[in-house]
Structure 1
Amino acid sequence: MNGKVFGVGVGPGDSELLTVKAVNAIKGADVIIAPRTEKKEGSVALDIARCYIGENTEIVYQIYPMVKGFSEDTSAWEKNKAEIMAMLEQGKQVVFLTLGDPMFYSTYIYVYNRLKEAGANIETIPGIPAFCAIASYLGRSIVEGDDILSIIPATVSEDKLKKALATCDNAVIMKVYKNFSQVVDNLDEASMLKNATLVSRCGLPDEEIITDVAASKDKKLNYLSTILTKRD
């Protein structure tokens, strides 16, 4: 098996934020794997990387269900793994695109584990997480000195959210969409609302920045929404 898989982080949205190594891997790929959910057509990660993809490169969409209990039904994962392994058997260079960083709340982590167990030659190329790009764009630090940072998916239980906010100086809250109002209330309770800024779809054409988070608590948000905040 002479083929190789590259897990490539394409960052949050700006095509110029990809590393040189990521761009070189994409340009040298025989196949680009563009993951998407069963509910949406297209791939944000593919859109970000498209300007680096060669005309003769094959693009393959793979559907990955966005469910918590994916271990109960692994059929989609096994099908996708088998498809990638067949490409490797043909000696192809395969790039699996992922938003942000491949090892940070990414579908790629589960893909990586399965391919590694199957004996695939695989290399992971890091990318810029959304909260790092947001901090740079806004000109605000993520942590300073001895600050403690909590990175929290808004999908956790309210009890876990409260505990995480209670023990940190600064917080990054990701995937803020379904329970935005609840998150705002918890930030207010933790004295972390006044300094909160939310950015949705960072670096993409429809990017949105919300500085008055409290006033927007009833707004419908996209899945790619992140809050940066610190204690008042």
Structure 2
Amino acid sequence: MDGIFYGIGVGPGDPELLTVKAIHAIKEADVLIAPKTEKKDGSVALHIARPYLKPGIEIVYQVFPMVKGFEKDDSAWEANKAEILSLLRAGKNVAFLTLGDPMFYSTYIYVYRLLAQEDVEVRTIPGVPAFAAIGSRVGYPIVEGDDVLAVIPATAPKEKIERALSTADNVVLMKVYKNADEVISLLEAHDLSQQAVLVSRAGLPEERIIRDISAHKGEPLNYLSTILTRHN
């Protein structure tokens, strides 16, 4: 009998934010897939889930190239899919760990679509997205009443970001790192910088909270950086 494939959201950083369902699935797994970048060793998602791993569990690291190049060269993705399928066909339960929520700006979405083409059982378990954890962590209501919320990747084109800033009442900006100064300038131009709070690596030991974002222009930021803001 084939194993079950679990897509597990481990939240933004604090291991205590994993759901009971996620913890049960991790304990059911025979193999953990830990996604990692090509440039760095280790896996943040694995670090978060580590308190719940059973002794002797097999850990498989997989590198997933940037999604932008997926259509041009999907060989790495297909190789990862083949490895996962071989484990499932061997009767092993396989858990794929992902930061935040599996269906929210996640590599898992593409893995899910690849496996949906196959005759395997897939169970996706939601996790706490970073912006939700940050709102609670710093006491910042994300939306209330009839507020309209925009969730924007800071990696989006400038014009797209500006349109969202102009129309939404409240804003979540994720992946604020490479172009942080440009993003802060956009928030200043839309009168959104004074109300903003930036949190980097939420729930992890290196967590950083910045409330005066304009005073921190020019400083390097981690990829896992999120800004919450709202119009007055």
Taking structure 1 as the reference length, the TM-score comes to: 0.98
Contact 2:171/2:228, CA 8 A, preserved across alignment: yes
Q: Deviations over 1:46-103 (max 9, x none)?
A: 0000110011210000011125222211011000000000011111110000000000
Once residues 21 and 67 of structure 1 are traced to their aligned partners in structure 2, the CA distance between those partners, rounded to angstroms, is 29
Contact 2:2/2:120, CA 8 A, preserved across alignment: no
Counterparts of residues 53-64 of structure 1 (less than 5 Å)? 53-64=53-64
Structure-2 residue corresponding to 1:223: 223
Once residues 119 and 171 of structure 2 are traced to their aligned partners in structure 1, the CA distance between those partners, rounded to angstroms, is 38
Structure-1 residue corresponding to 2:211: 211
Once residues 98 and 189 of structure 1 are traced to their aligned partners in structure 2, the CA distance between those partners, rounded to angstroms, is 35
Structure-2 residue corresponding to 1:162: 162
Structure-2 residue corresponding to 1:140: 140
After superposition, the CA RMSD in angstroms is: 0.8
Once residues 39 and 64 of structure 1 are traced to their aligned partners in structure 2, the CA distance between those partners, rounded to angstroms, is 11
Partner AA of 1:191 in structure 2? D
Equivalent pairs, count: 232
1:117 counterpart SS class:
coil
Counterparts of residues 22-37 of structure 1 (less than 5 Å)? 22-37=22-37
1:68 counterpart SS class:
helix
2:147 counterpart SS class:
coil
Contact 1:37/1:66, CA 8 A, preserved across alignment: no
Structure-2 residue corresponding to 1:79: 79
Partner AA of 1:207 in structure 2? E
Q: CA deviation at 1:210?
A: 0.4
Once residues 57 and 215 of structure 2 are traced to their aligned partners in structure 1, the CA distance between those partners, rounded to angstroms, is 46
Structure-2 residue corresponding to 1:178: 178
Counterparts of residues 121-132 of structure 1 (less than 5 Å)? 121-132=121-132
Q: CA deviation at 1:181?
A: 0.5
Contact 2:154/2:176, CA 8 A, preserved across alignment: yes
Once residues 18 and 98 of structure 2 are traced to their aligned partners in structure 1, the CA distance between those partners, rounded to angstroms, is 11
Structure-2 residue corresponding to 1:150: 150
Partner AA of 1:56 in structure 2? G
Contact 1:172/1:227, CA 8 A, preserved across alignment: yes
Are 1:188 and 2:188 an aligned pair? yes
Taking structure 2 as the reference length, the TM-score comes to: 0.98
Are 1:10 and 2:39 an aligned pair? no
Contact 1:7/1:98, CA 8 A, preserved across alignment: yes
Partner AA of 2:108 in structure 1? Y
Partner AA of 1:116 in structure 2? A
Runs of 4+ in 1 over 3 A off after TM superposition: none
Once residues 214 and 68 of structure 2 are traced to their aligned partners in structure 1, the CA distance between those partners, rounded to angstroms, is 29
2:160 counterpart SS class:
helix
